[in-house]
Amino acid sequence: TESKVPENISEKRELLLKNRIALWDVISSCEITGSSDSSIKNVIPNDLSEILKNSKIKRIYVNGKTSEKYYNKYMRERTGINAVCLPSTSPANAKWTLEKLQEEWKRIFID
């Protein structure tokens, strides 16, 4: 689905709802220094079981390798759904241009 880039929270929410996309964090809480993924410790995962049980979610995409790692560690077995790892949108992931990120993330709308 081709859509204009949302400019505010309301438009972002509308885009997600229109395309039947849900967003949720793998980690509920943790200790982290700054924004360094390598410093993450004492993870408490979000429990996605209830959400998945009461919805028709068929695919899960994660934002980068760290999210994939924690999804696989804490949720994969519970959900029975393999996550598709997309490149991180973090500014620290400088090897990916905005254009390349957009191309990869379009998979959500195509898969």
pLDDT of 2: 61
Residues 103-111 have a mean pLDDT of 86
Residue 1 scores a pLDDT above 60: no
**pLDDT tens string 58-85:** 899 999 999 999 999 999 998 889 999 9
At CA 80, angle to CA 74 and CA 83, rounded to 5? Answer: 70
**pLDDT tens string 10-63:** 998 998 888 888 888 999 999 999 888 889 999 999 988 888 888 888 899 999
